[in-house]
Amino acid sequence: MTAQILFVSGIDTDIGKTVATGVYAKKLAQQGFSVITQKMIQTGCEEMSSDILVHRKIMGIAPTAEDLQGITCPYLFAYPCSPHLAAKMENRQISTALIRAATAQLAQKYDYVLLEGAGGLFVPYDETHTTADYLRECGYPLILVTSGKLGSINHTLLNLSACRQYGIELHTLIYNRYPPADEIIGTETERYLQDYLQRHFPQATFEILESLDD
């Protein structure tokens, strides 16, 4: 594989990681890199990954051949729930080897592959494994999406603690300012997380996502 593969996760559901994935991909493309996004697993969807379509809209491109072939989202499940339950409901098993092979195929063609997870780091994809287990196995650096809403400091630090525990490299912490949080809480959360990152993850970058259109 020749591409740099970056895994994108969030501290919670509805934190903005799909938009952040698309925005980050667009930024890399504007820098002259060839970029593709991938979705590890998508639930609540049947024909094509809705998250992949959001990525493409933000990137300003049509669905790719890899999208149409299902390579950018190897698993789609109809019911909107945790992947392990969605797979169980359809009597299917999720093969991480299949996901990894799809990523490797994309990595042969593109400079960057941004692989978005389903939910957070500890969402299970079967009875005994979570996304964090897969990420540790693959060794992909992590882009973690957070925000300024109340409770996000706790959730962010728990995720960063898990990174240390699992040996996951933090590449970037994206602070999503959209939708606007309480101004006092949001400002302090942003300051606190920047300071925490500088002290505990100095190799990682801190980026701000201003709005859905950025």
- Domain segments of the chain: what residues? 4-209
Q: What is the CA radius of gyration of the chain?
A: 16
Look up residue 148 and give its two tokens.
Answer: 């300024």
Task: Judge contact between 83 and 45, C-beta under 8 A.
Answer: no
Query: Once rounded to an integer, what is the mean pLDDT over residues 109-113?
Result: 97
pTM score of the predicted model: 0.95
213, pLDDT greater than 60: no
Laid out side by side, the sheet with 4-10 consists of 35-39, 112-116, 4-10, 142-147, 170-176, 205-209
Write down the pLDDT at residue 181: 83
**What residues form the annotated binding site?**
14-19, 43, 51, 116-119, 176-177
Q: How confident is the model at residue 212 (pLDDT cuts 50, 70, 90)?
A: low
**What residues form the annotated binding site for substrate?**
43
User: What CA–CA distance (Å, rounded) separates 124 from 29?
Assistant: 32
Write down the pLDDT at residue 179: 86
Mean pLDDT, the chain, integer: 95
Write down the pLDDT at residue 211: 67
Query: Once rounded to an integer, what is the mean pLDDT over residues 136-147?
Result: 98
Write down the pLDDT at residue 13: 87
User: Any idea which residues carry the catalytic annotation?
Assistant: 39
Write down the pLDDT at residue 214: 39
Query: Once rounded to an integer, what is the mean pLDDT over residues 111-125?
Result: 96
Query: Once rounded to an integer, what is the mean pLDDT over residues 20-30?
Result: 98
CATH assignment of 4-209, among 3.30.300.30, 3.30.1330.40, 3.40.190.10, 3.40.50.300: 3.40.50.300
**Selection from 145, 132, 204, 141 nearest residue 169 by Cα:** 141
Task: Judge contact between 143 and 106, C-beta under 8 A.
Answer: no
Query: Once rounded to an integer, what is the mean pLDDT over residues 31-57?
Result: 96
Reduced to 3 states, what is the DSSP secondary structure of residue 190? Answer: helix
Write down the pLDDT at residue 6: 98
Q: How confident is the model at residue 1 (pLDDT cuts 50, 70, 90)?
A: very low
pLDDT digits (tens, 9 = 90+) for 164-210: 999 999 999 999 999 888 999 999 999 999 999 999 999 999 999 98
